[in-house]
Homo-oligomer: A and B are copies of this chain.
């Protein structure tokens, strides 16, 4: 069978399964997730064995140690996957929630009810835990899921998929609710991305290259984020101690992730005192600074920043620093160079805090806290299926609710239109 036909069959089976999933009760879905968690633990040895095949191939192919680390499964990581499924079981089921209901002059009652999206395709890279995490979130929200992981992790993903699917079968639920694509050929992705009649949403998870590839080739809606160039603006009225604590946390606590700070903007009125202060504190944490001209004047050991630095997502201990004339210039900089991910203002000024909150239209806008909180779990959404920096459907960290849509329900009593 051609890859195109295989993918069509996968998608059609998923669509059929999604109809059953959409009307499962929360109790059944939670029971399923609990059983799956237990099954993963019970199959720890088999999963590690399958993973070993991927690791051997990875070493032969000479993959980088960081990549091999992301790929590796051990008992602890398998426990992590099981815990993840149990956490999702504990989340409130969004399906069936009526988010509002109102009465019209003719006595029709109009409401909006959350329903699953239907079929969700996840295209990801080398982390095998995404297989269990994404499957759990999709099932809990009543969606069928098609999982297409990286070829480096194919044995691990298939093994995890087999364990999860056996629980579907044991509970007499459609096995096509979770499907792992076995073809590691990239044409399989291209074929999937054409099936707009069967698949409702594609979520790519991985590097910018993968995300651009998916986005440029998909006829199906894609929710994505390319990068996180997060800004912190220290306003003239900022409390220095809080500002320092927040900036250090935003840059240093975990520099390799998308919600870490990449550019620090400082109000010119405090530059002379705050720049040397924060420069010393950053250097003590091993952070290398790249600054505008004024920054370089006020602190030693700062490399001059180039235009590219303002666009850079360093993902390491490097920080761009720029002095701005005022709030407007800070907001202008963010609009020009930002990636719509997360922006922070540190201020004691009420008016400036409100203007920043209202006028910066990035997906997350914060006052007086660290950009590192920009995360579905930290926001209380539960586990995160992804982050969106495009505005359609979802904007910012995405939880269960973002895997649903709302239909209109209308309760009548014989009304007709005249």
Residues of A bordering B, CB below 8 Å:
19, 22-23, 96, 102, 104, 108, 110, 113, 115-118, 200-201, 215-216, 219, 221, 239, 242, 245-246, 249, 253, 335, 357-359, 361-370, 372-374, 378-380, 390-393, 395-397, 405-418
Contact = CB atoms under 8 A, between A and B. Distances in A.
Contacts of A357: 113, 409
A145 to B, nearest CB: 15
A253 B22 CA distance: 34
This chain: how many copies in the complex?
2
A249 B417 contact: yes
A197 B22 CA distance: 35
A407 B396 contact: yes
Contacts of A115: 361
26 contacts: A22-B361, A102-B380, A108-B369, A108-B378, A113-B357, A115-B361, A118-B361, A200-B392, A201-B391, A215-B219, A221-B390, A242-B414, A246-B416, A249-B416, A363-B407, A363-B408, A364-B408, A366-B412, A369-B410, A369-B413, A369-B414, A369-B415, A369-B416, A379-B408, A395-B405, A395-B408
B393 A392 contact: yes
Contact of A104 (B104, B378, B391, B406): B378
A410 B378 CA distance: 11
Nearest to A369: B412
Contact of A117 (B253, B359, B379, B392): B392
Given A357-B113, A408-B365, A414 B19 contact: no
A380 to B, nearest CB: 6
A407 B365 contact: yes
Nearest to A142: B361
A343 to B, nearest CB: 10
A192 to B, nearest CB: 17
